Amino acid sequence: MKSLCLVFVFAIFLQCESKQFSRCELVHQLRSHGFPEDKMRDWVCLVESESSRTTHYIGKVNRNGSRDYGLFQINDKYWCSNTSTAGKDCNVTCNDLVTDDITKAAKCAKKVYKRHGFNAWYGWKNKCQGSLPDISSC
Ligand SMILES: *[C@@H]1O[C@H](CO)[C@@H](O)[C@H](O)[C@H]1NC(C)=O
Ligand SMILES: *[C@@H]1O[C@H](CO)[C@@H](O)[C@H](O)[C@H]1NC(C)=O
Ligand SMILES: *[C@@H]1O[C@H](CO)[C@@H](O)[C@H](O)[C@H]1NC(C)=O
Q: 55-102 pLDDT, tens per residue?
A: 999 999 999 999 999 999 999 999 999 999 999 999 999 999 999 999
Question: What is the atom index within ligand 1 of the atom nearest the CA of 120?
Answer: 7
Are 121 and 73 within 8 A, CB to CB? yes
Q: Is 91 in the pocket of ligand 3 (CB under 6 A)?
A: yes
**Domain boundaries of the chain, sorted by first residue:** 17-127
Catalytic residue list: 50, 68
Q: Could you report the per-residue pLDDT of 95-135, keeping only the tens digit for each?
A: 999 999 999 999 999 999 999 999 999 999 999 999 999 99
Give tens-digit pLDDT for 9-60: 455 455 556 789 999 999 999 999 999 999 999 999 999 999 999 999 999 9
The pair phi, psi for residue 74, each rounded to 5°, is: -90, 135
Q: Which of 82, 88, 83, 84 lies closest to 68, judged by CA?
A: 82
For domain 17-127, give the CATH number: 1.10.530.10
CA distance 44 to 72: 10
Give nearest CA residue, ligand 2 atom 10. 82
Ligand 2 atom closest to Cα of residue 82: 1
Report which protein residue has its CA nearest ligand 2's atom 9.
Answer: 65
Whole-prediction pTM: 0.84
Instruction: Name which residue sits closest to atom 7 of ligand 1, judged by CA.
Output: 75
Report H helices in 90-131: 103-116, 122-127
